[in-house]
């Protein structure tokens, strides 16, 4: 009952659907409450309903169950297929593995999808922030985030150093921590495939492969090669390669090109209009999505989704902003826009669009939370919940 099912390789969504949610730590409580109000209002307007089912992770889970990520949480996401989460605290340099990384890996949510688009009225460091409109597909399971690493002082790190010395005559200082950067063909290909489908379905004009293959040839460089090969093999009718172009790209084809990561940071600042869909490895994607969010006015407006073949967990790009915990102050827009991505994933485009339009209207009328209020002259600063209510009035 009220469950999403998978039939003939497609999601089947009931009109009244149960969606599990993780409230999140820090500002999670405030922004989740605001997000649910807005989404309920938008969804009810199109005659649908979401039944919210709370599942536990992070500090709340630890307080109630003694576990940071109870097994039941993962089981519930698998049972209900699509979920949404607030930010979770990640202790730096301690033994606990990042809960976010664990969720992504255990559910095989291999694509982290982050659209970045400008909202008129928001202050940005760019002269023409409206020219930036990209969707970043960041690989979510591999790279230096795979969690294969050993502290310098451990016997495991020593074993790896000894192996490198005896097998390859590579000498590393005895106080060297070791991390491994795995990049595989299947993981690179499935990410590129998802990005290509997105580009085709959303009539995007280009897909740019971002890598650091000039230095890391057999990981980042291989990623580039495998992405190109996949595009040529599976999407030949849809694409044109920049390297084979003489003049502008035909308007009915998707331009495929690649950029080295450091140059891509420059490009997105200097020529934002030239980029559209970006597909990249895990670490590059992490940096790039925050940088892009900053270009359009900050993390308070940056949504994201972790998406696998069917399972999907949507989440804001920012963290728990602990100093604003329970102050009804944080900007809920990032989580609301993540929920918009979730509505699109469910196929409820009309409700999704209405939320975006209402958010634009609310920001343009200068009713905003503290973060935007300090940038916008003459703004009326409101709390997280009051922002949600103003947005609902504009639906």
* Site for ligand NAP contains 220 (CB under 6 A): no
Does position 331 bind ligand NAP by CB under 6 A? yes
- In the stretch 144-163, what mask flags binding to ligand NAP with x, by CB under 6 A? --------------------
Which of 300, 303, 305, 308 lies at the binding interface for ligand NAP (CB under 6 A)? 300
Interaction of residue 115 with ligand NAP, rule CB under 6 A = no
Residue nearest to ligand NAP (CB): 319
296 binds ligand NAP (CB under 6 A): no
Token pair of 316, please? 């804001």
CA dihedral 220, 221, 222, 223 (to 10 degrees): 50
By three-state DSSP, how is residue 82 classified? strand
Active site residue 286: yes
Which residues face 79 on adjacent strands?
Answer: none
Nearer to ligand NAP, 160 or 301 (CB): 301
Instruction: Write the DSSP symbol of residue 221.
Output: I
87, 115, 303, 305: which one contacts ligand NAP (CB under 6 A)? 87
Q: Is 29 in the site for ligand NAP (CB under 6 A)?
A: no
Maximum Cα–Cα distance across the chain: 69
212 is catalytic: yes
| Cα–Cα distances in angstroms (integers) from residue 302 to residues 37, 87, 341, 362, in the given order | 19, 13, 11, 17
338 binds ligand NAP (CB under 6 A): no
Among 297, 303, 305, 319, binds ligand NAP (CB under 6 A): 319
18 forms part of the interface with ligand NAP (CB under 6 A): no
**Residue 255: DSSP 8-state:** E
Binds ligand NAP (CB under 6 A): choice among 2, 65, 90, 394: 90
Active site residues: 145, 212, 262, 286
* Binding-site ranges for ligand NAP (CB under 6 A): 27, 31, 87-90, 100, 299-300, 315, 318-322, 330-331, 334, 371
């Amino acid at each position: 009952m009220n469950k999403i099912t998978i039939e003939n390789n497609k999601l089947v969504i009931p009109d009244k659907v149960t969606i599990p949610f993780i409230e999140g730590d820090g500002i999670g409580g405030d922004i989740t409450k605001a997000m649910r109000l807005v989404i309920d209002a938008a969804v009810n307007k199109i005659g649908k309903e979401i039944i919210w089912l709370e599942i536990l992770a992070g500090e709340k889970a630890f307080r109630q169950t003694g576990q940071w990520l109870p097994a039941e949480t993962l089981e519930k996401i698998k049972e209900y297929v699509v979920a949404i989460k607030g930010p979770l605290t990640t202790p730096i340099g301690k033994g606990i593995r990042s809960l976010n990384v664990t969720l992504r890996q255990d559910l095989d949510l291999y694509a982290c999808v982050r659209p970045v688009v400008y909202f008129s009225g928001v202050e940005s460091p760019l002269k023409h922030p409206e020219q930036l409109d990209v969707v970043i597909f960041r690989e979510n399971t591999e790279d230096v985030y795979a969690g294969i690493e050993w502290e310098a002082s451990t016997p495991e790190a020593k074993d790896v150093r000894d192996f490198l010395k005896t097998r390859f005559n590579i000498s590393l200082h005895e106080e060297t921590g070791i991390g491994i950067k795995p990049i595989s063909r299947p993981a690179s290909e499935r990410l590129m495939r998802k990005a290509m489908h997105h580009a085709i379905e959303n009539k995007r004009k280009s897909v740019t492969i971002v890598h650091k293959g000039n230095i890391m040839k057999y990981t980042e460089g291989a990623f580039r090669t495998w992405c190109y090969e996949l595009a040529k093999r599976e999407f030949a009718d849809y694409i044109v390669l920049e390297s084979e172009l003489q003049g502008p790209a035909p308007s009915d084809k998707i331009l495929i090109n690649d950029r080295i990561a450091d140059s891509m940071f420059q490009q997105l600042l200097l020529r934002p209009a030239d980029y559209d869909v970006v597909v990249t490895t895990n670490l590059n994607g992490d940096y790039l999505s925050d940088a892009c969010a900053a270009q359009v006015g900050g993390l308070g407006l940056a949504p994201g989704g972790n998406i696998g073949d069917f399972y999907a967990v949507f989440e804001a790009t920012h963290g728990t902003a602990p100093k604003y915990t329970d102050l009804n102050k944080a900007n809920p827009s990032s989580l609301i826009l993540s929920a918009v991505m979730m509505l699109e994933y469910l196929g409820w485009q009309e409700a999704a669009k209405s939320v975006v339009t209402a958010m634009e209207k609310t920001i343009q009328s200068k009713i905003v939370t503290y973060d935007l209020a300090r940038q916008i002259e003459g703004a009326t600063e409101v709390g997280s919940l009051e922002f949600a209510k103003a947005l609902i009035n504009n639906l």
